[in-house]
Copies of this chain bind each other. A is one copy, B any other.
Amino acid sequence: MDLPVTSDLMPGQLLARGVCRHLAGHGFAVIEEFVPDRGLRVDVMALGPKGELWVVECKSSRADYMSDGKWQGYLDWCDRYFWAVDQDFPTELLPEGTGLIIADGYDAEILRMGPEDKLAAARRNKLIRKFAVHAARRLHGLRDPGAGLEHLG
């Protein structure tokens, strides 16, 4: 069944939706388009039951992947890093030492875990606080459009 909202999403956002559903089913809380640090914006940031932080970058095509010059900068902001692509993506392009998720708009599956490179405690706490602020502000903006939160980003 095609949901009405599907047509409004870009291909990468559809992958992100499937990734988020899958990770939520495994106890993760997820947000999209999270800014861990100035100039960086990750497609999906997931916060696990033990406080683990995973970054998932969603690539809808070869061209989408080839034009991303920033992904290595994301490694410093998570415990594990993953690519999410659809089943037609040429996965041999993807670098070793990264996780791999195959996704569509409805679900996803982790094919290869990203290797763990644990965040230092101080950075983890700072990131979780930023995650909390981001999620709460967006939620607040949706619940109360009259609150005038637009400038807070």
Partner of A144, one of B17, B25, B47, B148: B17
Copies in the complex: 2
Within 8 Å of chain B (Cβ to Cβ): is A10? no
Instruction: Kindly state whether residue A83 has any CB partner on chain B within 8 Å.
Output: no
Number of interface residues of A (CB under 8 A): 34
Contacts of A146 in B (CB 8 A): 3, 5, 21, 106
- The residue in chain B whose Cβ has the minimal distance to the Cβ of A46 is B136
CB distance from A37 to the nearest CB of B (A): 17
- Give Cα distance in the complex from A137 to B148, angstroms: 22
Q: What are 15 A-B contacts with C-beta separation under 8 Å? A: A3-B146, A5-B144, A5-B146, A17-B144, A20-B147, A21-B148, A24-B149, A29-B132, A29-B140, A47-B129, A47-B133, A125-B125, A128-B132, A131-B132, A135-B139
Residues of A within 8 A of B (CB): 3, 5, 17, 20-21, 24-25, 29-32, 47, 51, 106, 125, 128-129, 131-133, 135-140, 142-144, 146-149, 152
